[in-house]
Amino acid sequence: MRVLNGRTVVSGIAIGNICTLFSEEEKSVSHYKISDNNIESELTRFDKGLESARQELHQYISESGKNFDQTASKIFESHLMILSDKKLSAMVKKTIKDKKINAEHAIYDTFDDFIEKYEHKNLHFQEIVHDFKDVRDTLLEQFETKFKNVSCPIPEREPVIIAAKRLSPYMMSDLSHDNILAFVTEEGGFTTHASVLAASLDIPFIFNVPVVENSECNDFAIVDAIDEKFILHPDQKTIDKYEKKRVEFQKNLVEYKKISTQPAKTSDDIRLDLKVTVNLPNEIDLLEGHNFDGIGLLRTEFLFMDKNQPPSLEEQFQVYKHAARAASNKPVTIRLLDIGADKTPQYLNLPYQKNPDLGIKGARAVDHFQEVFETQVLALLKAAKFGDIRILFPMVADISDILTFKQLVENAENKSENAEFGNLSIGAMIETPSAAMLIDEILEIVDFINIGSNDLLQYTLAASRETPGVYKRYHSIHPALIKLIKRIVKKAKQHNKEASLCGEIANYAEGYPLFLDMGIESFSVPVSKHSIIKHKIAEINTNDLDGIKEKFIRARNKEEINNLLQKY
Ligand code: PEP
Ligand code: MG
């Protein structure tokens, strides 16, 4: 059995055999030189291919209504616009003439230039890259280039999990939807066109899973698009567990849909704060239509990764402003760059660290990359004009860490000579045992706190989040963590400051009776978990919780903790 992590686009559970779709792009595109005499005929060949691609797109547009709502025809119409762009076809023709190469080769090279230009830009451009790839492939197919191959000998009628490197809206359109249990891809995004179509079909979908390299057609697998996992060759015990989870999810599906537009409330009418955790900038676009109490944690590291230099002030400002607008005046908690250990942009050239989790990470990076943080704070101050922006200091372990961050904000504020900055609230991540012990002093100098359960757990248990050899020890609902969080929450109440729980532990719907008994009133979880957690909260009556936390604190091992989780 092998468990691979992914990112959920459409929630659900699927259990079944895999069918792999593959597109061996480069291999099947023919490359050859043409003579001067053949240039004219090659240009005519290109024109014919272009016209035939347009016809095909018209066909997709007229047939899209059969399986999808209007979104599909809009996608194909936007592709038709790209294909009809005169400049683009002129560029392909110029490449044919200048380089004296065949039409397929010229199409590939021309599109590649666009793709390369956008590929290393902001994550917002990832969808444009997908569009270009889709249009390119549709055009290349007119020249007998084959992409959309199904490599499985699976009988037609057997429902399967579709695995692919990347899915295009065309592949989705061509598949028989009655027989698809789920989609799993290596590349993708929350708002790519394939994702939009999967959502309109309500078929579970996870991406960012190295599925093609790790599996073969007909392999048996489980897609857990609730907890963002792909499980290959599951054992019988796991299959049984997931079969139950699948039935439960299906049973509650209608309720989940209904509850997504409602606020989080217990059955005895206690209103809780259920915010959204955002990991990638384009997740912001998924928030529409959900009832959420603001953004509880926007991790900014991903703006800084996969690039050659830090994002500019303007680039960051646009993303933070977009988040503020999407949250429509509800609080937006944006964490300052939390680099180190698992998230280290190469261009920062961090020195080799023997113990990265205890080295230059979170607050300790400020001394080393002052300018990077200054730019980020300026972008946040500018964005604060457009909403209720809260700035969050990562991994503080000392009062001096908070004072350093506060000084950074103060210096940036002093730079403003006009009214271009808004007001920011200031908060700290409580994710080191030291911060937990200094909680009174911290609460005196910040406006709010976020409890970062992932790091708090690893530092409390001295068990790394990243080391397989100690996974067994890294158990999220551990009595030591519960004692610590209980204390933090109690102190926050005494100081009249908000304490919000984030990190993996907050994603466990089963843990909510315990969390409410501990007095936690604010949470931040990915939007894909919102309905499930709201549903669980709605089942809880706070009058029935008496003493659950004491039982968890007394639990001696994982089994006892799991038994308690099942019970409540
Ligand atoms: C945490 O540590 O719980 C947290 C939310 O931060 P990250 O997982 O990004 O370290
Ligand atoms: Mg953390």
The arithmetic mean of pLDDT across residues 281-299, rounded, is 88
Mean pLDDT, the chain, integer: 89
Residue 252: inside a domain, yes or no? no
* Residues 451-488 pLDDT 10s: 999 999 999 999 887 676 776 677 778 999 999 999 99
Cβ-based burial of 266 (10 A; exposed 0-12, middle 13-18, buried ≥19) = buried
CA of 429 to the centre of ligand 2 (A): 8
Tell me if 534 is assigned to some domain.
yes
Considering the domain architecture, whether residues 157 and 109 belong to the same structural domain is answered as: no
Tell me what percent of the residues of the chain surpass a pLDDT of 90: 59
pLDDT at 149 over 60: no
Is 104 found in the same domain as 185?
no
Tell me how far apart the alpha carbons of residues 401 and 385 are, in angstroms, rounded to a whole number. 26
Q: Which of 431, 459, 484, 485 should be mutated for ligand 1, with most atoms under 8 A from CB?
A: 431
Which tens digits make up the pLDDT trace of 173-223? 878 777 899 999 998 877 788 888 888 788 999 999 999 888 888 899 999
Q: What is the pLDDT of residues 485-496, one digit of tens each?
A: 999 999 999 999
Structure tokens at 162: 């579709």
Using a 6 Å cutoff on CB, does residue 454 contact ligand 1? yes
Is residue 501 classed as helix, strand or coil in its secondary structure?
A: strand
Q: Flag whether 251 is in a domain.
A: no
Alpha carbon nearest to ligand 1 atom 6, residue: 452
Give the span between the Cα atoms of 335 and 278, in whole angstroms: 10
pLDDT of residue 501: 98
Residue 507 near ligand 1, beta carbon < 6 Å: no
Q: Contact 170/134 with Cβ under 8 angstroms? A: yes
C-alpha span between 206 and 209 (Å, rounded): 7
Query: What is the reported pTM?
Result: 0.76
**Mutation probe of ligand 1 site: the residue of 277, 301, 335, 338 with most atoms within 8 A of C-beta:** 338
Query: Residue 5 and residue 230: Cα distance in Å, rounded?
Result: 6
Ligand 1 atom at minimal distance to the Cα of residue 458: 2
CA dist 215 and 20 (Å) reads 9
Q: Name the more confident of 411 and 420.
A: 411
Ligand 1 binding pocket includes 503 (Cβ within 6 Å): yes
Report the distance separating Cα 503 and Cα 546, nearest Å: 25
Instruction: Tell me: pLDDT of 123 over 60.
Output: no
Confidence of residue 26 (pLDDT cuts 50, 70, 90): very low
Tokens standing for residue 256: 């989940």
Give residue 510 CA to ligand 2 midpoint distance, Å: 22
Do 101 and 220 fall within a single domain? no
Burial class (CB in 10 A: 0-12, 13-18, 19+), 468: exposed
> Could you identify the residue written with the tokens 């790209």?
82
With H, G, I as helix, E, B as strand and everything else as coil, classify residue 503: coil
Q: Is the CB of 172 under 6 A from ligand 1?
A: no
Q: How many domains are contained in the chain?
A: 3
Q: Is residue 253 part of a domain?
A: no
| DSSP, residue by residue, 20-63 | EEE--HHHHS---B--GGGHHHHHHHHHHHHHHHHHHHHHHHHH
Using CA atoms, how far residue 14 sits from 6, 209, 268, in Å, is 14, 15, 34
Ligand 1 contact via 56 beta carbon (within 6 Å)? no
Which ligand is nearest to the Cα of residue 503, counting in written order?
1
Q: Is residue 7 part of a domain?
A: yes
CATH code for position 84: 1.10.274.10
Same domain for 154 and 72: no
CATH number for the domain spanning 159: value is 3.50.30.10
CA distances in angstroms from 356 to 310, 350, 372, listed in the order given: 21, 10, 20
Mutate to test the pocket of ligand 1, among 344, 361, 429 (most ligand atoms within 8 A of CB): 429
Answer yes or no: is the C-beta of 387 below 6 A from any ligand 1 atom.
no
Same-domain pairing of 383 and 509: yes
Count of other CB atoms within 10 angstroms of residue 346: 10
- Please check whether residue 556 lies inside any domain of the structure: yes
CA dist., res. 365 & res. 405, Å (int): 11
For residues 257 and 234, give the distance between their C-alpha atoms in angstroms, rounded to a whole number: 29
Same domain, 179 and 116: no
429 and 480 in a common domain: yes
Q: Same domain for 270 and 359?
A: yes
Task: For residues 357-362, give the mean pLDDT.
Answer: 90
The pLDDT value given to residue 64: 83
Domain boundary among 143, 169, 185: 143
Domain termination residue (choose one: 187, 204, 235): 235
Query: Which of residues 407 and 419 earns the better pLDDT score?
Result: 407
| H helix or E strand, kind and range, residue 433 | helix 433-437
Query: Percent of the chain, pLDDT > 70?
Result: 93
Note whether residue 451 is domain-resident: yes
Give me the helix-helix angle, 370-383 and 313-326, nearest 10°.
40
Separation of CA 29 and ligand 1 centre (Å) = 44
Task: Examine the pLDDT at 121 and tell me if it is beyond 70.
Answer: no
Name the residue of 279, 280, 295, 299 to mutate for ligand 1: max ligand atoms within 8 A of Cβ. Answer: 299
| CATH code, domain carrying 377 | 3.20.20.60
For residue range 363-375, what is the model confidence (pLDDT) as tens digits? 999 989 999 999 9
Identify the CA nearest to 98 among candidates 28, 27, 43, 26.
43
Whether residue 340 has its Cβ less than 6 Å from ligand 1: no
In order of 208, 327, 526, the CA distances from 5 in angstroms are 8, 28, 15
For tokens 């044919």, the residue is 96
Q: Is 201 helix (H, G, I), strand (E, B) or coil?
A: helix
Range of the domain at 57: 30-143
**Length of the chain in residues, anyone?**
568
Is 263's pLDDT higher than 80? Answer: yes
Same domain, 435 and 525: yes
* Cβ pair 481, 462 in contact under 8 A: no
| Rounded CA separation 19/393 (Å) | 45
Q: Tell me which of 124, 143, 162 is where a domain ends.
A: 143
pLDDT category at 154 given cuts 50, 70, 90 is low
- Relative to the CA of 455, which ligand 1 atom is closest? 2
Query: Do 529 and 431 share a structural domain?
Result: yes
How far is 536 from 52, CA to CA, in rounded Å? 53
From its phi and psi, is residue 211 left (phi > 0), alpha (psi between -120 and 50) or beta? alpha
Asked if residue 155 and residue 133 are part of one domain, the reply reads no
Please check whether residues 462 and 489 belong to one and the same domain. Answer: yes
CA–centroid distance, residue 395 to ligand 2 (Å): 6
- Whether 101 has a pLDDT exceeding 80, the answer reads yes
Q: Which ligand is nearest to the CA of 450?
A: 1
From 301, 455, 458, the mutation candidate for ligand 1 (largest count of ligand atoms within 8 A of CB) is 455
Residue nearest ligand 1's atom 3 by CA? 452
pLDDT (average), residues 26-38: 81
Q: Which of helix, strand or coil describes residue 87? A: helix
Q: Is residue 246 part of a domain?
A: no
* Between 145 and 297, the higher pLDDT residue: 297
